[in-house]
Structure formats: C-alpha cells, structure tokens
C-alpha cells in the first residue's frame, strides 16, 4: 500500500512538472512572436526620460516573473573557484556545473567613487564593462550594487561614522558626493551595446538599510535623511547627469512587517522595483520561515505598488546542505512571484554561494536548474 502511494505521488509530481513545462514552452513561443509588442509596450518608470531599452528591460522582468524566477550570481564571469578572468575568458562556475550561465549577472561599483581602476572585490572596471556588454549581448539581465566608502571617515562601507547628513544638499560634503556620482554616471553612460544604445541596468544603491552594518543603515542616519539621500541621488543622476538607462531597486534586509519594509522608502516617484536580501545564516528551518514571511511582505507591498520584485541577495555560504537548492531554497521561493534570486559571489575556498565542479551540492543544483520554473540564461533569452 505504502509503495503504491509513493508511485501515485511520483506520477502526480511528474504530471505537474510536465504541465508546468508545457505552459513554459507556450509562453516562450508566445514571447518570441510578441517581441515587437514587448518592445512597443510602454512602462511608467521613475525616470520620465528612461530609454526605450530600459522600458523594455522593465517589461521583460515583468514577463519572466509570470513564468518563474531567474537565477542570478554576483561576479559570475569575473572570477570563480581557482580562476580569475584575465580579459580573454568568458566562463562561470555555474556554467561549468550546469552547461548554462546565470540569467542575471550582478556587478559591484564600490571604489569607483575613489577613482580606483578596480572595485573593492578586485574586479577591473574596464573588464567589468566588457563582461556587462557580453552578458547583455547574450540576453542576460544586469544588476549593479554600490558599496561606496564612508565619505566622512574614508573607511569602508562598513564604517559606522555618521555620514548621510554630511552629503545632503547644503551640507559640507555635498559637492564631494556629487563628484562621486559623476563617476557613477560616467560608468553607466559608457555601457553601450553594439548599436551604440545604452545598456539598461537594474541599479540597487544603498541596500540593506534596515540593518546596522553600513554607514547608511539603521542607527547611523534617520529615515528622513536616508530618503533625502536616495531622492537627491536619483535627481542628480537623472536630471543633472542625464543617466536614463537605470531601473532603481529599493531593497532592505530582513524586516518584521510592511511598516518595517517601508520605513526608509523614498517614494514611488524614485523607485521602479522592490527587493529584499535574505541569507541563510543559521538553521534551514529558520531560513525557510524567514523566506516565507518576508517574501509575503515583499509581495504584498509590490502588488500594492504594481511593481516587480526580486530576492535581490541570498545564499548559504559554502552550501554544506547537499540538497539545499531543491529542498530548502526552492521550496519557499518557487511560486512567490519574484523575478529573480541573486546569489552572492564565489570569492575564495571558505566564501562561496554557488556550486562549482565537485562541490557537494552540484548534483542537486543541476536538478534545481532543470526545474521548469527556474530560469537560466538560455531560458530568458527566449523571453524577448
């Protein structure tokens, strides 16, 4: 009897997966035929002068979130376990394991504001531009974060010296901050495709403000100061420096409720997309509970505001649970309506968040990749 029940359950699951795969294929076929419609479709973005390519990115994000969620990885093609891109490579640990690249490619601008040639994770900015162009040409989505140094102490983003008040309009370091933003603007404006069009970027500045670890975070500035910082940053980039290829993502860390999520929210006129950062830090049970609660909060806020939303950072360091991808992560994020889930970088042997060849969760990761609602690069290339 028990064996019969298992057989029935297995058959039911196969039927369910087959049904989802058929729906996905029908959507992809429809998407391929409606390329012109997706391009023509308007989008009301925070930046009234946003490029048509940026509006297209927004519409594409909305489209893929109706099919499943895209897999993303930070610095995926810049380096991995035992290798670093010398400018002649195009590879990723994810591709080595699965045969496909991430759908979403995350990059970081920290130290650009200082005039350095490489970011705080030792990625050369010239190489970064090349990798962004390549990922975009292949149909990938680009998201960029920014961990600027503390403008008062000149120490890292993790230095808690109060600083937000000092860079607002009329404050002593405002001109210095404008100069920092000029460097950010020049970087974004230099991202051009083969036709000379600006590559659209999902930009996620001043993230995890609900936590206390960054100089712009909880306890180091008031919510009103944070809102002004965001609004002024948007205004300077958009109106003064004429950067029109950005979608702006507001993304706190773990929160308790909608009020906590919106505590630092700068307003609908300054945000295009919502996110949240949730890492697996302790037990799997706790992580799954937090995911369920906070993604429900995120979904409610995003639905009310009619904005797309994503799990903008996540992961389990060193992935010691062999079936983590299918039995922990996907159990809670599948079907939540997120556009993507971005996992942090593969930096060194005791700090990595995606599997590489031989890593203990690799087999489960391949199973995860093959789930019909989990989208890698080849999958989202067809949603155009």
What's the whole-model pTM score?
0.91
Q: What is the dihedral of CA 310, 61, 134, 132, to 10 degrees?
A: -50
Instruction: Note the helical H segments in the chain.
Output: 2-33, 35-40, 52-65, 93-98, 125-137, 164-167, 174-189, 223-235, 258-261, 284-305, 324, 330-333, 362-369, 377-381
Q: What is the mean pLDDT of residues 338-351?
A: 98
CATH architecture of 34-381: Alpha-Beta Barrel (3.20)
**% of the chain surpassing 70 pLDDT:** 90
Domain spans in the chain, listed from the N-terminal domain onward: 34-381
Rounded distance, CA 12 to CA 284, Å? 27
pLDDT digits (tens, 9 = 90+) for 155-209: 999 999 999 999 999 999 999 999 999 999 999 999 999 999 999 999 999 999 9
What is the overall mean pLDDT for the chain? 92
Q: What is the pLDDT of residue 383?
A: 87
Task: Please calculate the CA angle 50-313-22 and round it to the nearest 5 degrees.
Answer: 80
């Amino acid at each position: 009897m028990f064996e019969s029940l298992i057989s029935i359950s297995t058959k039911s699951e196969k039927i369910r997966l087959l049904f989802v795969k058929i729906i996905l294929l029908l959507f992809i076929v429809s998407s391929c035929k409606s390329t012109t419609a997706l391009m023509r479709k308007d989008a009301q973005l925070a930046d009234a002068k946003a490029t048509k390519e940026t509006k297209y990115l927004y519409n594409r994000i909305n489209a893929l979130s109706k099919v499943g969620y895209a897999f993303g990885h930070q610095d995926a093609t810049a380096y991995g376990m035992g290798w670093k891109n010398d400018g002649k490579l195009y590879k990723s640990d994810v591709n080595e394991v699965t045969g496909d690249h991430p759908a979403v490619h995350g990059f970081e601008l920290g130290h650009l504001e200082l005039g350095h040639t490489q970011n705080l994770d030792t990625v050369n900015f010239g190489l970064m531009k090349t990798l962004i162009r390549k990922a975009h040409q292949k149909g990938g989505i680009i998201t960029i974060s920014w961990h600027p140094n503390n403008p008062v102490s000149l120490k890292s983003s993790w230095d808690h010296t109060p600083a937000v008040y000092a860079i607002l309009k009329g404050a002593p370091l405002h001109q210095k901050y404008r100069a920092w933003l000029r460097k950010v603007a020049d970087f974004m404006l230099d991202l051009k495709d083969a036709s000379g069009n600006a590559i659209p970027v999902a930009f996620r500045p001043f993230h995890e403000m609900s936590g206390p670890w960054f100089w712009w975070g909880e306890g180091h500035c008031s919510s009103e100061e944070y809102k002004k910082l965001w609004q002024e940053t948007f205004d300077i980039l958009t109106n003064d420096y004429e950067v029109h290829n950005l979608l702006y993502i507001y993304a706190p860390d773990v929160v308790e409720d909608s009020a906590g999520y919106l505590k630092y929210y700068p307003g609908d006129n300054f945000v295009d997309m919502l996110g949240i950062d949730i890492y697996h830090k302790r037990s799997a049970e706790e992580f799954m509970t937090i995911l369920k609660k906070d993604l429900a909060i995120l979904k409610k806020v995003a639905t009310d505001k009619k904005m797309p939303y994503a799990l903008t950072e996540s992961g389990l360091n060193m992935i010691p649970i062999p079936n983590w991808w299918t039995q922990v992560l996907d159990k809670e994020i599948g079907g939540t309506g997120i556009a993507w889930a971005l996992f942090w970088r593969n930096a060194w042997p005791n700090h990595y968040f995606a599997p590489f060849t031989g890593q203990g969760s690799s087999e489960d990761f391949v199973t995860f990749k093959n789930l019909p609602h989990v989208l890698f690069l080849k999958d989202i290339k067809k949603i155009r």
